[in-house]
C-alpha cells in the first residue's frame, strides 16, 4: 500500500450516465469517485452501504425526476465507493492491510482535498452513513450537513457481530453465493419487496441481486471486517456542528440504532424521518419518501428546486402537499400521508 499521501486522479474512459470516474490514489489506497454535474457548484458526497456502490445504492433516488431537479440543480455529486466496490473492480490483494473505519474516513478528506472542495453536504447509507458521520466528527469544518439513511453509530452488537460472522465465513469460503446474497438483501430491503413463495421479488431487488454478482468477495469482506471492528462514536455526536437529517425504514434491522443516534444528536439541528413499510436502503426502496424532508432540509441552506417544476401536479413536492409549518427549521416533520412517512419532530413537538 502506498505510503505517500499525495493524490493522483486517473480519468477513466467510462462515463456513467453523464458522470465521469476518477481514481484518486490516497495514502490509504485508491478510491473510485464518480462525479456528476458542474464542479463549480457546491459538493454533495455520497457513500454507500456494504457491498453496494452508487448504482445499487443511490440510483433510485437520483433517477426520481423531482430529486434530480433538486439535487443536480444545486450540487455537483461525488459518489465515493468503498475500496473495491466500484463497477468492474478487481480483487484487492489479500496481503494488503485491511483499512480501519478511521482510514476510510481519512480517505474522504484526501478526496476532498484532491478536488479542492471546501465544506460539503454528505449523504450515506448504513455503513456509509457511519463512515460519513465519523468523517464529520473528525473534520467538522468540512461538513455542511448530513443526510443519513439507516445509520450506525454504536459498536457492533452481539447480534450484529454474529450475523456478520456468518457473512464473513460465507464470503471467505464460498464467495458471493446465493445464501450470502439473501443475507445482504435482508439487510437492505423489507419483506414487502423481497417477495415470497407466492409473491415475486420486486424489480429493485432483482436489479440489486444482479449487481451483487459483480462484487469481488474479498473486497466486500474487507469492508465488512472494518465495520465489524468499528468503535462507538456516540460521544462524538454532540460535537457535530452541522444539521443532520436521518431516514430509517420501520422494518430496517438498524431501526433502533437510528432512533438511538437521533436521541444523542443536538435536538436543535436534527430530525428523524421513519418511513413505513420500508427496509434500510430507503434511497432504493422508497426514494419518494425522502423528497419533501430533503427539500426543506436544504432550504435551511438556501438551496431550492428550479421554479419551473414547482407546480407539477405529479410531484410530491407540490406546495399543496406540504404543511407550511415545515418551513420552520425547528419543525422538520409531519405525517406525510401521500408517501406514508412519519417524522419525529425536534425539538418542541408535543404530539407523541
Q: Are residues 162 and 186 in contact, defined by beta-carbon separation less than 8 angstroms?
A: no
> For 14-64, what is each residue's pLDDT tens digit?
445 568 999 999 999 999 999 999 999 999 999 999 999 999 999 999 988
Give the pLDDT score at 14.
44
DSSP state of 45: E
What angle in degrees, to the nearest 10, is found between the helix axes of 217-228 and 158-174?
160
pLDDT at 245 over 80: yes
Predicted structure pTM score: 0.85
Partners of 274 in the β-ladder = 248, 342
Position with higher pLDDT, 317 vs 96: 96
Domains of the chain: 20-300 (3.40.50.1820)
The strands making up 43-47's β-sheet, listed across from edge to edge, are 9-16, 19-26, 29-36, 76-80, 43-47, 120-125, 143-149, 243-249, 270-275, 341-344
Give the pLDDT score at 253.
96
> For 303-340, what is each residue's pLDDT tens digit?
987 765 444 433 333 333 333 333 343 434 333 333 34
Longest CA–CA span in the chain (Å) reads 58
Alpha carbons 40 and 17: distance in angstroms, whole number: 19
Amino acid at each position: 500500500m502506498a505510503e505517500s499521501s499525495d493524490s493522483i486522479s486517473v480519468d477513466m474512459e467510462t462515463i456513467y450516465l453523464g458522470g465521469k470516474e476518477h481514481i484518486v490514489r490516497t495514502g490509504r489506497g485508491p478510491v473510485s469517485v464518480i462525479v456528476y454535474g458542474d464542479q463549480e457548484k457546491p459538493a454533495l458526497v455520497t457513500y454507500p452501504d456494504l457491498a453496494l456502490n452508487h448504482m445499487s445504492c443511490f440510483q433510485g433516488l437520483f433517477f426520481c425526476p423531482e430529486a434530480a431537479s433538486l439535487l443536480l440543480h444545486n450540487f455537483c455529486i461525488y459518489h465515493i465507493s468503498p475500496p473495491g466496490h466500484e463497477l468492474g473492480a478487481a480483487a484487492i490483494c489479500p496481503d494488503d492491510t485491511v483499512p480501519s473505519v478511521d482510514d476510510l474516513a481519512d480517505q474522504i478528506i484526501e478526496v476532498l482535498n484532491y478536488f479542492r472542495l471546501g465544506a460539503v453536504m454528505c449523504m450515506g447509507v448504513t455503513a456509509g452513513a457511519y463512515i460519513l458521520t465519523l468523517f464529520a466528527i473528525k473534520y467538522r469544518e468540512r461538513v455542511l450537513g448530513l443526510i443519513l439513511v439507516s445509520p450506525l453509530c454504536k459498536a457492533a452488537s452481539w447480534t450484529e457481530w454474529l450475523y456478520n460472522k456468518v457473512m464473513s465465513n460465507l464470503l471467505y469460503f464460498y464467495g458471493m453465493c446465493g445464501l450470502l446474497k439473501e443475507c445482504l438483501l435482508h439487510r437492505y430491503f423489507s419483506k414487502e419487496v423481497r417477495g415470497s413463495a407466492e409473491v415475486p421479488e420486486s424489480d429493485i431487488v432483482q436489479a440489486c441481486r444482479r449487481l451483487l454478482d459483480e462484487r469481488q468477495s474479498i473486497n466486500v469482506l474487507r469492508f465488512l471486517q472494518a465495520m465489524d471492528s468499528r468503535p462507538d462514536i456516540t460521544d462524538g455526536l454532540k460535537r457535530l456542528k452541522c444539521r443532520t437529517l436521518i431516514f430509517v425504514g420501520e422494518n430496517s434491522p438498524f431501526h433502533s440504532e437510528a432512533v438511538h443516534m437521533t436521541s444523542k444528536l443536538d435536538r436543535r439541528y436534527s430530525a428523524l424521518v421513519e418511513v413505513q413499510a420500508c427496509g434500510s436502503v430507503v434511497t432504493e426502496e422508497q426514494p419518494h419518501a425522502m423528497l419533501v424532508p430533503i427539500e426543506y432540509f436544504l432550504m435551511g441552506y438556501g438551496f431550492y428546486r428550479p421554479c419551473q417544476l414547482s407546480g407539477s401536479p405529479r410531484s410530491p413536492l407540490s406546495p399543496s402537499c406540504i404543511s407550511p409549518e415545515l418551513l420552520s427549521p425547528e419543525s422538520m416533520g409531519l405525517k406525510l400521508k401521500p408517501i406514508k412517512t412519519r417524522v419525529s419532530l425536534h425539538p418542541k413537538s408535543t404530539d407523541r
